[in-house]
Chain A
């Protein structure tokens, strides 16, 4: 069964450093998303991406965040200067129409 894959599974970074979280969506999907889940809290929407551009973004997705689909298969989330409060589980998802498939997540720990 096709699946969304995310790497790395766990990333530890120092405050102020840049991180790139990587995702390989399901190959024929057209819509791509990033969500995050701070430990013990709700899953929160960050951004959606369609046709090589951002289609929606939340208030969380400020200038420190960016997304890219550099080569037609990968979908990346970059955080330019990480803060302690960026520590969370980051989920990538993709969909063709309605049903969205989520990856296993990358646990980002900012120290």
Chain B
């Protein structure tokens, strides 16, 4: 049984560019949450998707957007990249939006130069 998978593993982009990160949830899970983890810090909640809709959002600008597909996989899009967007982006899935038990993927390391 595959756990949460994310792609790509690493990514290097230039300021002002746009990026799309992808996540496939654990089998049987229908809720996906995205987090940003800066070096040396704890993860920060970006948003949660359930039933193909954004259900809850953290303190992130509109440059951060997402999507959930009918097969429950999800994408995170970031526009107009800033140097400060460099971080590990984590996807987590759960079987309900309650977040009672989440499984995290290995993350995508984004570097903005």
Question: Real complex partners, A and B?
Answer: no
